[in-house]
Structure 1
Amino acid sequence: MAAGSPRNYVHPDTIQFASSQAISSSNASLVESRFGGSGSGSYFRDVEKLSYHLPHLAAGHVLRQSCRYPEGGSVTRYDIFKDKSLPVTKVEYYPRTWSGPNVLHELSQIDIGSDLERRIVIVEDLSPTLIDVLGSIFQITPEFFEEHLNRSGYGRNSYNDGDTRAWNSGLLKKNYFSFKWQRPIYREACEPTSSNSRERLLGSHEPKMPPVEWLSEELIPNPPEKEPRFVTHRHRLLLNGNIFRQEWVLSIDPDVLVPPTGQNARGAWEERATLFRSNINGCDVVLLLLDPLPTISHSTHGEWPISTTEAEKSHQQASSAVQPLVETRTETLLPFTPVAPRGPERHHASPYQILKLRAELNVAKSTQEGLSKWIFQNRSGTFLDPMTSLLQLVHDDTLDLLHIMALVLEKIMVDSMDDHRIQERLSHWRAMVNRFQLELSDIRKNFDAFVQFVYGDKETPQFSSSLVSSVKNHIDALVAQIEKTQNSLRAELSILESKRGIAQAESVSKLTELAFFFIPLTFIATTYSMQIKELKKPPSISSFIWASITAVIVSYGLRLIVRSSIVLSFKRQCFRSVRKHGNLEPKDRIPAHVFLSWLIPHPKWFPLRYIFLGILITITGTVGLTFLWRRSHISVQLKETITVLFGTIVLLWVYLILRRFLRSKFGWHLDFP
């Protein structure tokens, strides 16, 4: 298409993609001619034309021919007949067999009037070859595959895919349904342990992407009369499939992304199922895309000890010693173990099945294996609808996930009582709680959308309705627990902020204590620096020190007096008396006129005269002593004697006046012991 030419929107189902009802045995030759017996990829040519109108296809994964396994994936076909006496037929198609015309003919061949009631085609993993084959067989819109591969790890940057709801065709009605859920797991201590190693695993098929490799030192035995020696082993990791989705570690500690060696951590692994349902010549055909187990191939190359028996088989000289052998050994790793078994056994456990359940907890099963158990191994021995089986499997995984979420919320509430932990982990906890709310909303929507897609206007079976109601009830209970946790976090955070404010106020009060030392020093220094006539002669250092010490003692002494219990008690008594006089409540502020009316109850002097008299005597004594010390013709000894006598008389008068005032006003007695 030339630049600037108009682009009219075209629905994905209107370009080269016929309806599924048109696929029958009569078009088998057409299918073979389109592929020429070798899979020429005409489906991709149609997708490429459609990508001009749908940008998300042009930037998506369906048109990309580069992946880790171009011919990967597995297909399993189940045929269920109307005659229930006939057994269910199971056919497995292995990789590298998609391009043959026989495969196309087998999947699309359904004779008119046959006894076939339902055909289920379950696909694990996807690859360009498999997409081409399935798209040509069922004439499915490429969005069916594109949505299943969204954020699937199909490519190195697959986790950065945009949301499928933002597609320009997102509001159109689809003839397929795709939904994701979280499978609860116990995360093991193995790769990938970081975003860097995960990116290198996803891009291992790219030439410029360095593989995930490391070296280790191993101690192996040596021939006789020699000490064991260390050898170097080279380790390398490769993914075994094209789909490797993301994990979700459900840990309240933000530092625990991968558990330490020998331990595991609760988490969830994202899974997706995409289904397409059609009717071919009266047969119900279900195409279901599922994710494979995210297994990792771990290869180790180096020297290994070989036993004597193996040496004899290799026609080597018999010896009781252990001889080294250079080879590459491979093992399959799975980054998690299941939280609960998948299948009907978990609902009908008996003492005789405990060992079986224990074995299933040690080995994770794929979604296809769990689905097969629900379809063909239910308790009654009859066939169970595949849609109901899928709903049951997702229902069990969801309830297990909700149980883990509830445990995480309880742990958050317990740890929120620790001030240190809540300061370190608050942002992580808030992110987890917000993620919980989003996941619960998606789960509710997916269950409703699944039932709507499968049953449409028909009445939903009671069993399926009970599964949906069960999930919704558990979601409602967890939503209430989330709100309780959020309220608890808010309360604990408020208490923490209050404690922090009190601590800051205490630190400020400690700084205020220093003011009783530095302000008097500043006052003395300022006094000596002023141009006072009597202080024209610079004072000595000893005079400054003594003056500073005296000022500090007086200042801090006043501080002690103000905060003393006697003064505080006197203050409370005064306030209580003033409030009683003014008919005020204990928490009311005391107006100035109420205080004055209490202090001066009558126009005459009465109690106020004692205060004025004490102040007048103190001022008079101070002025008299000042004039006394200004007389130079009086000797110093006489001045000191007069000062002591006069000061004693003044203090005695003040004491007597104060005692009279307190006795008349409050009934207090200030008597020396």
Structure 2
Amino acid sequence: MATGQPYNPVLAQPDPPGPPQNHPRDVTNSLEDLLRNSEDDNGSQRAREMTSSPPDPIDLHDPSLSASRPPSPQTPQEDRMDDPGQLDPPVLEQERPIPYRKVIQNAGKVLEHIKNGSVGKRSRHSETSITYYDYIGHFISDTGHIDDSANIPALSHASADVQQRLIFVEDLSKPTINKLGETFSINPEFFEEHLLNSGYAGGEYDSPSARNWSTASFEKSYMSFRWIRPVYRLPTYFSSSELGNLLNDGTIHSTRGREVWTDVLTNIFRLEWGLWTDPRKTVRMKRVCGLEERVSIWKKRLNDRNTEIIIVLFDPLPEISETHQYWAPVGLQGQNSDTDDESDADDDLSQSYEMEEPKRVKDQGSFNIESLYWLIGRGRRKVGTLKSQVLNKVIIEQIGSRQAISVDLDRVFQATQSVRDLDANLKETKSTKLEICDGLHLEPLSLVEALFRIVKQDTMTLLNQLRQILDEIDIEMIDDTKMEDRLSLWRQIINRAQRELPELRSSIEPFIEFLIGLQSITFTTDLAALGPEVTQDKDELLKEIDHIIDRLQTTSTSLTSNMGLLDSRRSIDEAHAVARLTELAFIFIPMSFAASVFGMQVKPFAEPVPLSNFFIVAVVVTSFAYLMRMTMRSAWLVGLKAAVRHDVRRYAARNGQPVQAGTLPVLLVFRSIASRLGTIIIRPCKWAARGIISAAEMLWAVFGFIISFILLSGVASAIPLVILWTCDLDSDIQDAVTIAIVLIVTVIVVIPFWYRSDPKFRNALPDFIMDRVRRAPLWVRKASIYLILIATFSVVPLALIWTRPLATGIKSGLTVGVGMVVMLIVLIRVAMGRRRSYIVRLDF
């Protein structure tokens, strides 16, 4: 199709008669006949079921995947490129394909990078995301989707009119790799090169480059290209030092009373290149960074028809899942608290769910809250809802649109809606696969134009960001304070740019040549016009890259010079400090010598000390000094220092504080240790506080009414009784007035409190006792009753006996008598019980 013209199915028909065209139904019938005769692993019955669906629109369950638009006259077919390893394709197609894990194992026996690579490892997720298109002449079919890896073998069945089939795969997974490799007999290096330093198999990003492979000089049927996409990095709860834990098991953070679990939702999660120069920026702030992206393209022509299969692998957007768990307090019953409003707003903004705590009979109010409830006549409401909120979000935001935007800036800011639309277009963040799919639908573009335009736009935006950073460095390197604070960040950005840009420049030209080779079948008429246009854009892009490389070299040289000047200035300052100390030494050393000489003329040293004392002190001091030397050089102390240094650097990276390579600030070390100790201390304190609060709530639920009753009556009668008993009155009068005050307080305060209190709250203690009595065994209850009776009949008389002024013999005799009476009662009770049992047995 011609570039820049919209698709029109009426105008697309050729005027002169061309070769006979096949109707889409004829295409389907021919594919059905082909699948009926083949005996592959899908089975003939499955082929008949899948070919029964109409060809328009393309459906996942249609293995023919034929074009939904009428084909144009076919271009002359090129010579078929058969695989020399297949001597008899019809016979080989009937055989079941070798499992792809076996292919990977065979390749691992020869190739070390396959044996130790990621292609054979298990992925975090097993989802499949495939989009495909068919080219018939200059026409492209509608979009087809595959979400199940079991349907991937259907992609190998194409009608005779399909000249090229584009298969877009986003976020590789283990089932997708196995089915694609098994269906199309793909070299495992194709997937392995795309997964280099992708985080697919964990947090390791030290894979060797594909240029170092033993097969790097071999001719291959694929091309892999990597570039940098400038984006805004959105705030998250993990830092670069925690990326390994995030990709392996996820991370957890405690912040503002919340526990935040972070997990990665994609298999491919590539590194980012920090493009910020302010050391105060942390992971909780929005900042500019360069996201690594890679596209890998594999092509091969089917052996039994003139159809070229092109598989394109894309990286997904970095998406994470954050689970927030927190205790949400609930306000008074009948009132809408701020917490409830906030939680309702959170539920409307994101996908969330609540995990309710098991219901328990408890009252979480204090005495003041209970009194308030009684005064205002309101009921109590349970609190303590554990809420969990799950947020799935993409952690990047587009800096500028990757597509061309044509707006009238003189008029766009005059309407609110147009401003919103412009902001949405500028910040719209899509994956590379979605950008290309949208481009194929909006404009009659080829894969070459769509992909190269995205690479060019991202690279130009990256060069603009680097240009701004270099301008900032050139201006701020004069300030010594800023240079000391930002030197490490500047060096990281410059060194990374000096490695990335030459590699990007050297890989652009082979990548474009490979892309143009993909268009030789479907866009033969447009290839002559496309070549010069792409070449011109490529030359312009390479020129801009060369310009930034030159500026990087200039800025690096200037930065090195300023670093030398800064070091020279520091050396001069240190020399001045040493000179000042030397001048002071001329004063203090003579004074110290004189003080030492005259300091010996004291009474303790008036007589000579034994020589043995000198040897004892010398041996002790020498031994202590040598022991300290051995301790400082011991292995455990060196390991402890290394562990503390590593912990401090992680703390600094998490909080965005620059740290030099050789030294660590003492204040930063203390902050790290305080943070670790605070975390260790806070957790048991929280646990203990929760236990104390829970125990207090349980006690209040049982004894709350008794405590409230005593406190209320005591407060109401305390002041009159204090005044009464502090006055100089007769004791009989004080007793009478005390009884009157108690009665008045009971009538006015205590009795209304009794009737206005909640019956359940009032009867909590009796209900608790009766509940425990009901649960006790029968023998325990009987024994308790006997003990109470014995105590009643023995303790009371004994107390009366021993509190009276009687003789000791009389007290002892009365005590023995009481004991004998109690024993007699017990014996009589036992005898009566046995008689009753005997009578019951006789009755039976």
Structure 1 residues 83 and 396: CA distance shift in structure 2, 3 A: closer
Which residue identity does 2:541 align to in structure 1? V
How much has 1:30 moved relative to structure 2?
A: 3.0
Q: Verify the 8 A CA contact 2:163 2:307 in the aligned structure 1.
A: yes
Name the residue aligned to 1:29: 39
Q: Verify the 8 A CA contact 1:51 1:57 in the aligned structure 2.
A: yes
Per-residue CA distance 1:362-386 (angstroms, 9 max, x = gap): 44211111112332323xxxx2110
How much has 1:514 moved relative to structure 2?
A: 5.5
Q: Verify the 8 A CA contact 1:98 1:133 in the aligned structure 2.
A: yes
Correspondent of 1:399 among 445, 451, 460: 460
Q: Verify the 8 A CA contact 2:128 2:146 in the aligned structure 1.
A: no
How much has 1:511 moved relative to structure 2?
A: 5.2
Correspondent of 2:405 among 342, 345, 349: 345
How much has 1:411 moved relative to structure 2?
A: 1.4
**What pairs up with 1:21-420 in 2 under 5 angstroms?**
29-30=39-40, 32=42, 42-64=99-121, 66-69=122-125, 71-82=126-137, 84=139, 88-94=141-147, 97-100=148-151, 103-105=152-154, 107-112=155-160, 114=161, 116-196=162-242, 198-204=243-249, 211-215=250-254, 234-253=259-278, 256=281, 258-260=282-284, 263-280=285-302, 281-301=305-325, 305=340, 328-345=388-405, 355-378=420-443, 383-420=444-481
Whole-angstrom distance in 1 between the partners of 2:256 and 2:99: 52
Per-residue CA distance 1:303-354 (angstroms, 9 max, x = gap): 664879x9xxxxxxxx9x9998766432212222110122233799995675
Q: Verify the 8 A CA contact 2:246 2:264 in the aligned structure 1.
A: yes
**What pairs up with 1:465-544 in 2 under 5 angstroms?**
465-507=535-577, 509-510=579-580
Name the residue aligned to 2:491: 430
Which residue identity does 1:476 align to in structure 2? D
TM-score after normalising by structure 2: 0.49
Correspondent of 1:464 among 534, 548, 556: 534
Structure 1 residues 291 and 347: CA distance shift in structure 2, 3 A: farther
Secondary structure, counterpart of 1:329 in structure 2? strand
Whole-angstrom distance in 2 between the partners of 1:142 and 1:465: 32
The answer to whether residue 516 in structure 2 is matched with residue 455 in structure 1 is: yes
Which residue identity does 2:402 align to in structure 1? R
Q: Verify the 8 A CA contact 1:72 1:241 in the aligned structure 2.
A: no
Whole-angstrom distance in 1 between the partners of 2:311 and 2:408: 29
Whole-angstrom distance in 2 between the partners of 1:437 and 1:468: 20
Which residue identity does 2:132 align to in structure 1? R
Q: Verify the 8 A CA contact 1:25 1:110 in the aligned structure 2.
A: no
TM-score after normalising by structure 1: 0.60
Name the residue aligned to 1:539: none
Q: Verify the 8 A CA contact 1:344 1:374 in the aligned structure 2.
A: no
Q: Verify the 8 A CA contact 1:124 1:291 in the aligned structure 2.
A: yes
Whole-angstrom distance in 2 between the partners of 1:30 and 1:350: 63
Whole-angstrom distance in 2 between the partners of 1:61 and 1:250: 29
Whole-angstrom distance in 1 between the partners of 2:34 and 2:487: 63
Structure 1 residues 201 and 181: CA distance shift in structure 2, 3 A: same
Per-residue CA distance 1:511-536 (angstroms, 9 max, x = gap): 565688699999x9xxxxxxxxxxxx
Whole-angstrom distance in 2 between the partners of 1:327 and 1:506: 63
Structure 1 residues 498 and 387: CA distance shift in structure 2, 3 A: same
Whole-angstrom distance in 2 between the partners of 1:104 and 1:365: 28
Secondary structure, counterpart of 1:152 in structure 2? coil
More strand by share: 1
Structure 1 residues 499 and 175: CA distance shift in structure 2, 3 A: same
Which sits farther off after the overlay, 321-330 or 286-295?
A: 321-330
Per-residue CA distance 1:254-277 (angstroms, 9 max, x = gap): 564x344xx411111111110012
How much has 1:134 moved relative to structure 2?
A: 0.8
Whole-angstrom distance in 1 between the partners of 2:134 and 2:407: 27
Per-residue CA distance 1:191-226 (angstroms, 9 max, x = gap): 332422x2222113xxxxxx42345566xxxxxxxx
Structure 1 residues 238 and 518: CA distance shift in structure 2, 3 A: closer
Whole-angstrom distance in 1 between the partners of 2:271 and 2:484: 29
How much has 1:498 moved relative to structure 2?
A: 3.7
Structure 1 residues 430 and 28: CA distance shift in structure 2, 3 A: farther
Whole-angstrom distance in 2 between the partners of 1:110 and 1:40: 18
Secondary structure, counterpart of 1:77 in structure 2? strand
Per-residue CA distance 1:541-598 (angstroms, 9 max, x = gap): xxxxxxxxxxxxxxxxxxxxxxxxxxxxxxxxxxxxxxxxxxxxxxxxxxxxxxxxxx
Structure 1 unaligned residues grouped into runs of 5+: 1-23, 205-210, 219-232, 311-318, 525-673
How much has 1:400 moved relative to structure 2?
A: 0.5
Q: Verify the 8 A CA contact 2:239 2:283 in the aligned structure 1.
A: no
Per-residue CA distance 1:394-447 (angstroms, 9 max, x = gap): 110111111111111111122211112323443442332121111110110121
Name the residue aligned to 1:549: none
Per-residue CA distance 1:3-33 (angstroms, 9 max, x = gap): xxxxxxxxxxxxxxxxxxxxx9679633537
Structure 1 residues 264 and 33: CA distance shift in structure 2, 3 A: same
Name the residue aligned to 1:18: none
Query: RMSD in angstroms over aligned alpha carbons?
Result: 3.8
Structure 1 residues 79 and 491: CA distance shift in structure 2, 3 A: same
Structure 1 residues 307 and 30: CA distance shift in structure 2, 3 A: closer
Secondary structure, counterpart of 1:500 in structure 2? helix
Which residue identity does 1:30 align to in structure 2? D
Whole-angstrom distance in 1 between the partners of 2:181 and 2:419: 44
Q: Verify the 8 A CA contact 2:119 2:191 in the aligned structure 1.
A: yes
Per-residue CA distance 1:638-664 (angstroms, 9 max, x = gap): xxxxxxxxxxxxxxxxxxxxxxxxxxx
How much has 1:465 moved relative to structure 2?
A: 1.0
More helix by share: 2
Secondary structure, counterpart of 2:392 in structure 1? strand
Identity %: 27
Name the residue aligned to 2:500: 439
Which residue identity does 1:67 align to in structure 2? S
Structure 1 residues 412 and 259: CA distance shift in structure 2, 3 A: farther
How much has 1:178 moved relative to structure 2?
A: 0.6
Q: Verify the 8 A CA contact 1:31 1:136 in the aligned structure 2.
A: no
How much has 1:478 moved relative to structure 2?
A: 0.9
Which residue identity does 1:299 align to in structure 2? T
Q: Verify the 8 A CA contact 1:343 1:373 in the aligned structure 2.
A: no
Which sits farther off after the overlay, 490-499 or 502-511?
A: 502-511
Structure 1 residues 516 and 57: CA distance shift in structure 2, 3 A: closer
Q: Verify the 8 A CA contact 2:133 2:167 in the aligned structure 1.
A: yes
Secondary structure, counterpart of 1:276 in structure 2? strand
Whole-angstrom distance in 1 between the partners of 2:591 and 2:262: 74
Whole-angstrom distance in 2 between the partners of 1:398 and 1:411: 20
